[in-house]
Amino acid sequence: MTKTYLLLILATLFEVSGTMLLPVTKSFTKPLPTAGLIVFYICAFFCLSIVVNKLPLAVVYATWCGLGIFTIAILGYLFYGQALSWQVVLGMFLIIIGLTLVNIYSSKTGIN
């Protein structure tokens, strides 16, 4: 199970890396960043295709999206100078709390 969650985290990191390249592609006019974005997204979906065979799709997708949103918001703030109001920060922590609850209680309800 630990390997499965590590693979899910790896899928999230690939997706985040691809998403962080979106502004750099300049609407897909820059070939190298665009190629990197494509490779990262393919790697992310490959990892996800393995994870969904071991965990429920709802848990996988919720975790992948939630961690992606949280990470992109932080990296957008750090690298692109995008603003994060206190409401956004609060919302991101609520996402993490929600993800924690989903992952803890999905195994107790027999979803896994």
pLDDT, tens only, 39-52? 999 999 999 999 99
- pTM of the model as a whole: 0.86
Neighbours of 23 (CB within 10 A): 12
- For the beta carbon of residue 100, count every other beta carbon within 10 angstroms: 12
- pLDDT (tens digit per residue) in 53-98: 999 998 999 999 999 999 999 999 999 999 999 999 999 999 999 9
Q: How far apart are the first and last CA of the chain?
A: 10
**DSSP letter (8 states) at residue 27:** T
Hey, where are the domains in the chain?
Answer: 2-108
Say what the pLDDT of residue 2 is.
Answer: 87
